[in-house]
Amino acid sequence: MLAGLFIVSGGAAAGIAQAASILMGAAIPAIISVIALKLSLRPIGALTAGLILAACGQAIQSSLVVMADIPALFWSVCAALLLLIYSESRKPLPLIACALCLTMAILSRWLYGVLLLPFFGYWLALRQPFRHLIYALAAASILVLPQAIFSLNNPFPVFNHAWVAGWTPINAVAQDFINVDGEFHYAQPNFLFYSAPLIDPYYFAPALLPFTLLGIFSLRRRNSLFWYGWLLLPLIFLIGIPYQNIRFPLIAMPAVALLTGAGISKIFSVFKGSRLYPVRGVLTCAAVCLALVWVIQTADPTIDAFLRIQNESKQSALWASRIANPDATIYAFGITLTLEHYANQPVEELYYFTPEQLEAQLQPGDYLLVNVWQLENQWAGQPVYDSFNYLRYNRGLYQIGRHGLYTLYVIR
């Protein structure tokens, strides 16, 4: 939506969408701090909560790219803030706005649907008129209806997605998977990988975990259950899917940040007025600062490597576009979206073609741009690998050159 407003004023471009993502990412820590203050945390606790998200490596990385992770996180924290405003005003308008924001989060990334349970539970605890909920659901349906119509007429799965259909608690201790995206062998079992918001310094300094645990017990019961649910429900779902993605645990970070801020706030409250207060205050602030420095130092090389890979993909796309005949079609896999943006030639996604469809559509002199190692090691046995082998062994491929991870072939 924010990107749409930018496009209306400045035209459609990748930079516009990236600017929207950066602005949303920058706003999230501020919103978290406001939520913390509304939860009656001391200013030091609210500041800590905001800084935790501001320093989170994955939040920074996701803000730099045009993907759904940061918009979904932005809309979800806006929904949480509006829910707190509703709990204070008891007027239906904030709840309606909350429902709209939560719907936007879910439509941006369907994983955020697991947050419906803590949001609904919080509303029940407020014991407000049922008509308020009806108003909110009616408003949300305005956003859901177009998406539902699109999904019903679109071949991509929604509720029957492989990660939902393949969910099982056994995956929590598994680290080798074969799914619709190929074959994967990971270094950690799912339960450890998706514990990243609590134990991985790329996300969060584990040294602050005692404050997080303290925060669970320092909030009012209703608030504590809400944020505890926000933390646990997504992670319970994620450990059961047959896939690992470093971006997915980002959903839990608002809860981690706020619970940690609540724990910091509790420490300052307990020792207020005692002779130990200045000492404990200095030690706590020092611990928080050192922990945040740890997170930033951990994130820096990871983000640099990510940006380097993205730039290499861009350069590979530009290289292929310069070499290929401007009238030919480039079939690609793994770099298709980047190629569509930078290439002047028509671009097709190899994943969506069977050998029979390729036979009917291919023209002599068309091109193929792929990461051969990825196809052979991740996608062996999958339909896209069969299509690649058809091109390689039946039609014939002549290698033009290689740039970075990608090889360009002309199809005979």
Does some domain include residue 292? no
| Judgement on whether residues 330 and 212 belong to the same structural domain of the protein | no
How do residues 328-352 score in pLDDT, each as one tens digit?
999 999 899 889 888 888 999 999 9
Any idea of the CA torsion for 63, 68, 69, 70, to the nearest 10 degrees?
40
Give the pLDDT score at 277: 59
89 — pLDDT class (breaks 50, 70, 90):
very high
Does some domain include residue 309? no
Domain extent at residue 391:
316-411
Contacts of 37 (CB under 8 A, 6+ apart): 43, 46
Does some domain include residue 304? no
Total-model pTM: 0.82
Q: Pick from 270, 304, 329: which residue ends a domain?
A: 270
Compute the average pLDDT of residues 310-339: 91
| Judgement on whether residues 70 and 207 belong to the same structural domain of the protein | yes
| Judgement on whether residues 224 and 323 belong to the same structural domain of the protein | no
CB 5 within 8 A of CB 55: no
199 — pLDDT class (breaks 50, 70, 90):
very high
Does some domain include residue 279? no
Q: Between 284 and 69, where is the model more confident?
A: 69
Does some domain include residue 282? no
Distances (CA, A) of 231 to 237, 256, 335: 11, 7, 34
Does some domain include residue 250? yes
How do residues 358-369 score in pLDDT, each as one tens digit?
988 998 899 999
| Judgement on whether residues 131 and 233 belong to the same structural domain of the protein | yes
Task: Count structural domains, the chain.
Answer: 2
Give the pLDDT score at 155: 62
Q: Pick from 270, 299, 332: which residue ends a domain?
A: 270
How do residues 171-187 score in pLDDT, each as one tens digit?
999 999 887 777 888 99
Does some domain include residue 132? yes
Residue 4 reports pLDDT greater than 90: no
Amino acid residing at 239: I
How do residues 127-181 score in pLDDT, each as one tens digit?
999 999 999 999 999 999 988 888 777 666 666 677 677 889 999 999 998 877 7
Give the pLDDT score at 6: 47
How do residues 247-264 score in pLDDT, each as one tens digit?
999 999 999 999 999 999
Does some domain include residue 307? no
Note the maximum CA span of the chain. 83
Q: Between 202 and 275, where is the model more confident?
A: 202
Any idea of the CA torsion for 202, 207, 209, 212, to the nearest 10 degrees?
-100
64 — pLDDT class (breaks 50, 70, 90):
confident
CB 103 within 8 A of CB 140: yes
